[in-house]
Amino acid sequence: MGRFGGRPRVFQAPGRINIIGEHTDYNGGLVMPAAIDRRCIVAAAPNRQRAINVVSRNLNAEARIDLDRLAPAGEWADYVAGVAASLINAGVPISGCDVWIDSAVPIGAGVSSSAALEVALARAFTSLAGVDADGLSIARWAQEAENKFVGMPCGIMDQFASANGVENCALVLDCRTLKAEVAPLPPDFSFLLVNSMVRHAHASGEYRRRREECELAAKALNVKDLGEIAESALPSALRGLPAGPAKRCRHVVTEIARVRASAKYLSAGNISALGQAMNASHASLRDDMEVSVEPVDALVAIAQETPGVMGARMMGGGFGGCVIALAQSTDADRILETIVARYAARIGEAPDAFICRAVGGAGEMLL
């Protein structure tokens, strides 16, 4: 780490895809994420100060964070300061360090660049402090940083997947109990990501409103969260809700059912049914959760119409970001080229796109 002159330890945390299960994590439901082979790298070394000196290669920016005066500043460095504050609140003895950040996780694309950063930082800070933390603790501290310091009311899925990913597998995570089952992915199928090139900004608006509407629905139904509503009880539940909260409730309950069914499809090798569930997920996100936008809908339609695609949907919290498509691995390159070409002709630029594979979670990189 020549920028600071120290000998660093290096840590990585992956981004994630979510195969199915959007807006269910903060509703106490099921999700099916997988860590992917796009990672955030954090190099860190102690500096004998009461400050974190941090450089972001991606942003070409640097900041100095006073560990005795941690407060949100509304800037990118809040992610760093927020993780430090979360760990200090948990009793982790954080000390000053020099930090270099370099990430290959696309920003604003719905593959959890912020969670990858938070988890990599949490791994770095706890390791420098001599604390051996498990993946669940890392995920909780990282989520707390984003919720309480950055101001983004996200669920725990992104951080959990980044911290606890399993090679060649998805995780079926119950966000109420925070218990996860491993779901092996079929080796002859691949997930394709295509960026709509519409940048989303969750912390300032619609995502927050969707969460508030879900909370209103849960309160009206006298449950802690919408994950408690059984699919069989949905018709009667909807009759007691205003139009907006009713639509959010319908999405959450049916999406949880789709995740549960998709886990069975994977176990049985029924990839066609998994693809159909992904298609149904997008329709629900578009019509009931109302978090899609026209360019994303167009990209999903292009993907779903492309021969060889088993299923496709928007991914992430909404209002932009990536579309995820499922296709046979032998045809994945050709299919991706077709989708990219058609969407590029529509928007006038080539979208970012790549084929990803599932990898293990965050950890130290031994040099």
Active site residues: 158
Percent helix, strand and coil across the chain, each to the nearest 5? 45, 25, 35
Whether residue 299 contacts residue 194, with contact meaning beta carbons closer than 8 Å, is answered with yes
How far is 311 from 281, CA to CA, in rounded Å? 10
Tell me how far apart the terminal alpha carbons of the chain are, to the nearest angstrom: 13
Question: Which residues are paired to 170 by β-bridges?
Answer: 183
DSSP state of 193: E
Whether residue 208 contacts residue 248, with contact meaning beta carbons closer than 8 Å, is answered with no
How far is 315 from 310, CA to CA, in rounded Å? 16
Dihedral sign (CA 231, 232, 237, 243): positive
Collapsed DSSP state (helix, strand, coil) of residue 161: helix
